């Protein structure tokens, strides 16, 4: 289709250090008078040549659509696989925008986002690999971050520890500082815009509301962002600088630590009034260092805000809250993230909204803009300059799609049952490519959310006496957790089978178990289902060091300062053994021995001095196991608590399980 003629195309938006450049200050959803005038003529967003000479220009035919990751009024975000070129097989996120539905301000923001992504190069900021267009659509090819966003974790009420928050905030501070050094105000900081890569490191994304060409002397005046995260100077439109990002940084910190927003009214007007005038209610459950940092960030005078001074981010890095952070190691990604997403396949989308991922990916033909509203994004195309080492193609398996090629049944051969529970079944499996034996726990997602169990295993599975998680798969209905195969059997079976079992051996076994439990408690993890059937040996040697604690289906990570569980245990067929030492079984939990105290008990400390003679034992194993089951069944006859749907939770009600949307009034 021939394009309409034009006389005065838009030139590249100049990089000006003035305080007059405003994306949009109009009230309401439409663009007001100037926008209507703009639509009456043909304009061009002109972008200078940034394509590497000799590089391949991309087009939609080079990408295979795999899944829908998100969708909005202007377009969609797809998971795609590159089909040609040196990065063939690589997975990307493809952001597709319809030109015809973009308002003037949105066209400018799209151009701004593309310009910023071309300019930045930072380990904690999402990378733009390609940008191209068709007559009706714009395409941005970005990193695919398999871990989803921080909003997903918050909405599931997996409360963060201060250590978690410290790590994410530290990486985020480096990302924001990089933008500020380039003269960019981010202006839309919120959990939805912070993604996690496959290792758990953050990536800042969505630069549609960012502002270029701002130094510390000049200000921007646009009213944009997400209201709850706006700084006071953004709300009152008196002009804002980079310091506005550090206020939003404080809001994000507050939300991650408490699960609630510091300033939120019944409507937008009340929220803005609170941001301007309300006194901050400081939660006393967080550390003094965290409270101090929040107070330094929530300064309504932006000049007094931490990070606004001449030293910039160095002021924040020097704060005692970050006293344990090695910033050089952090930048090099040498610090282990607190959470590693459980992704068994390269195209896993378990951390994305199933409302979108369940849809059939389809990029319908874009409707060309009308002649009087056409926007030609001349020079929009871009190809990132990448070294060969940066390209890590995903190997293709003939004509089989990646999703099909990496189904559990294609990688492993299922064998006999090992154990059956209320919510899961455990089977032996064999990896087809190596012949190695593993165990797979198959969890019914309709009965139990496995996210907490997977997170705990990924975080703490490196401990020598905790079962190791090898791989994960998700077919939509069930989650498959592939672990090491423990061939030595259960602890109680091992004791009953053994003809000779001494007090010294019993002490060594208890020492290993208690040491592992102490490690979990030190990390804030409570197993809540510790019983002989969940304590297994790796092999038949009987070596206490080969013991593994497994089945973390009921485990929880404690967050409360008092160390008590914040959620009720669903059920428990086995609790603290009531036939052990009376000090371990005291009815008052505050007087009951801790794991650390058990390890200091003489029976454990001096285990090598204990007698080696055989202990008395029951010759009928089935009677022993039956008696134990009856004992613990009687101890747990209480009525299990009724759990309300997740929609009844405080966070779900506050957020309505909907992501907060950005606003530009």
The predicted-structure confidence for 422-473, as pLDDT tens digits, reads as follows 789 999 999 988 899 999 999 988 888 888 888 888 878 878 999 988 888 8
Q: Do 240 and 302 meet the contact criterion of CB atoms below 8 Å apart?
A: yes
Full domain range(s) for residue 584: 490-617
Does 456 share its domain with 548? no
Does 209 share its domain with 288? yes
Q: Is 529 a catalytic residue?
A: yes
76 is in an annotated binding site: yes
Give Cα separations from 309 to 230, 243, 249, 314, 323 (angstroms).
20, 9, 16, 9, 20
Domain termination residue (choose one: 361, 390, 419): 390
pLDDT band at 365 (very low <50, low <70, confident <90, very high): low
383 is in an annotated binding site: no
Q: What is the pLDDT of residues 612-632, one digit of tens each?
A: 655 555 555 666 666 666 665
Q: Residue 114: enclosing H or E segment and its boundaries?
A: helix 104-119
The answer to whether residue 639 sits within a structural domain is no
Domain count, the chain: 4
Does 180 share its domain with 282? yes
Domain termination residue (choose one: 421, 455, 484): 484
pLDDT of res. 295: 94
pLDDT band at 37 (very low <50, low <70, confident <90, very high): very low
Q: How far apart are the first and last CA of the chain?
A: 35
Q: Count CA atoms within 13 Å of residue 18 on its CB side.
A: 7
- Catalytic residue, chosen from 149, 188, 206, 245, is 188
CA separation for the pair 75, 79 (Å, rounded): 14
Which residues on neighbouring strands pair with residue 664, listed in sequence order? 224
Does 231 share its domain with 336? yes
CATH classification of the domain holding 192: 1.10.510.10
The answer to whether residue 283 sits within a structural domain is yes
Give Cα separations from 53 to 48, 50, 120 (angstroms).
13, 9, 20
Does 103 share its domain with 231? no
CATH classification of the domain holding 469: 3.30.200.20
The answer to whether residue 245 sits within a structural domain is yes
Does 326 share its domain with 283? yes
574 is in an annotated binding site: no
Q: Is pLDDT of 635 > 60? A: no
Q: Do 299 and 293 meet the contact criterion of CB atoms below 8 Å apart?
A: no
Does 332 share its domain with 358? no
Does 281 share its domain with 154? yes
69 is in an annotated binding site: yes
The answer to whether residue 23 sits within a structural domain is no
Q: Is pLDDT of 475 > 90? A: no
To the nearest 10°, the Cα dihedral for 73, 78, 83, 87?
110
190 is in an annotated binding site: no
Residue found under tokens 């299922």: 414
Greater confidence (419 vs 331) lies with 331
The answer to whether residue 92 sits within a structural domain is yes
Q: What is the pLDDT of residues 160-185, one digit of tens each?
A: 788 889 999 999 999 999 888 888 88
421 is in an annotated binding site: yes
Does 117 share its domain with 157? no
85 is in an annotated binding site: no
DSSP state for residue 158 in the 8-state scheme: -
Domain termination residue (choose one: 617, 635, 652): 617
The answer to whether residue 626 sits within a structural domain is no
75 is in an annotated binding site: yes
Q: What is the pLDDT of residues 505-551, one digit of tens each?
A: 888 888 999 999 988 888 888 888 888 788 999 988 888 899 999 99
549 is in an annotated binding site: no
pLDDT of res. 107: 63
Does 197 share its domain with 338? yes
Does 430 share its domain with 325? no
424 is in an annotated binding site: yes
pLDDT of res. 185: 83
Does 179 share its domain with 286? yes
């Amino acid at each position: 289709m021939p394009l309409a003629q034009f006389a005065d195309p838009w030139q590249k938006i100049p990089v000006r250090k003035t305080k007059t450049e405003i994306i949009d200050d109009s009230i309401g959803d439409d663009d007001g008078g100037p926008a209507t005038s703009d639509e009456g003529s043909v304009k061009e967003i002109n972008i200078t040549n940034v394509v590497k000479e000799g590089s391949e220009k991309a087009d939609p035919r080079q990408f295979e659509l795999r899944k829908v990751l998100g969708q909005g009024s202007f377009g969609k975000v797809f998971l795609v696989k590159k089909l040609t070129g040196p990065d063939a097989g690589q997975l990307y996120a493809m952001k597709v925008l319809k030109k015809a539905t973009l308002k003037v301000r949105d066209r400018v923001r799209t151009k701004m986002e593309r310009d910023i992504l071309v300019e930045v190069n930072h380990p904690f900021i999402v990378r733009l690999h390609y940008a191209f267009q068709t007559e009706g659509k714009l395409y941005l090819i970005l990193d695919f971050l398999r871990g989803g966003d921080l909003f997903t974790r918050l909405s599931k009420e997996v409360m963060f520890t201060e250590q978690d928050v410290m790590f994410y905030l530290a990486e985020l501070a480096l990302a924001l500082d990089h933008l500020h050094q380039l003269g960019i105000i981010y202006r839309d900081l919120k959990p939805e815009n912070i993604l996690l890569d496959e290792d758990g490191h953050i990536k800042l994304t969505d630069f549609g509301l960012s502002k270029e060409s701002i130094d510390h002397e000049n200000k921007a005046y646009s009213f944009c962002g997400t209201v709850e995260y706006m700084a006071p100077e953004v709300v009152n439109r008196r002009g804002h600088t980079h310091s506005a990002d550090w206020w939003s940084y404080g809001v994000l910190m507050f939300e991650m630590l408490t699960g609630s927003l510091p300033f939120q009214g019944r409507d937008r007007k009340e929220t803005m009034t609170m941001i301007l005038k309300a006194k901050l209610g400081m939660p006393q459950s967080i550390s003094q260092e965290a409270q101090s940092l929040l107070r330094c960030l929530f300064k309504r005078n932006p000049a007094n805000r931490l990070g606004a001074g001449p030293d910039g981010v160095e002021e924040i890095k020097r704060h005692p809250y970050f006293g344990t952070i090695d910033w050089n190691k952090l930048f090099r990604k040498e610090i282990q993230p607190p959470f590693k997403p459980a992704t068994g396949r390269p195209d896993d989308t378990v951390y994305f909204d199933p409302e979108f991922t369940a849809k059939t990916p389809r990029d319908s033909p874009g409707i060309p803009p009308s002649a009087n509203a056409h926007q030609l994004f001349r020079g929009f195309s871009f190809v990132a300059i990448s070294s060969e080492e940066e390209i890590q193609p995903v190997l293709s398996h003939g004509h089989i799609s990646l999703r099909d090629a990496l189904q559990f049944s294609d990688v492993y051969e299922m064998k006999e049952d090992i154990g059956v529970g209320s919510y899961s079944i455990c089977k032996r499996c064999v990896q087809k490519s190596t012949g190695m034996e593993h165990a797979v726990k198959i969890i019914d997602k309709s009965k139990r959310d496995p996210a907490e169990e997977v997170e705990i295993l990924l975080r703490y599975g490196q401990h020598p006496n905790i079962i190791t998680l090898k791989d994960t798969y998700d077919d939509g209905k069930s989650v498959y957790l592939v672990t090491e195969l423990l061939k030595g059997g259960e602890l109680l079976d091992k004791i009953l089978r053994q003809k000779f079992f001494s007090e010294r051996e019993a002490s060594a076994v208890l020492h290993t178990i208690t040491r592992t439990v102490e490690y979990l408690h030190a990390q804030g993890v409570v197993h809540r289902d510790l019983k002989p059937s969940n304590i297994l040996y790796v092999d038949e040697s009987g070596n206490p060091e080969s013991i593994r604690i497994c089945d973390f289906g009921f485990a929880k990570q404690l967050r409360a300062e008092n160390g008590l569980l914040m959620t009720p245990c669903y059920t428990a067929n086995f609790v603290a053994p009531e036939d052990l030492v009376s000090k371990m079984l005291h009815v008052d939990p505050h007087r009951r021995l801790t794991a650390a105290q058990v390890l200091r008990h003489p029976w454990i400390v001096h285990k090598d001095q204990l007698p080696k003679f055989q202990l008395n034992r029951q010759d009928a194993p089935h009677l022993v196991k039956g008696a134990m089951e009856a004992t613990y069944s009687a101890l747990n006859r209480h009525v299990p608590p009724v759990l309300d749907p997740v929609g009844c939770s405080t966070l779900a009600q506050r957020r309505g399980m909907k992501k907060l949307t950005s606003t530009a009034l």
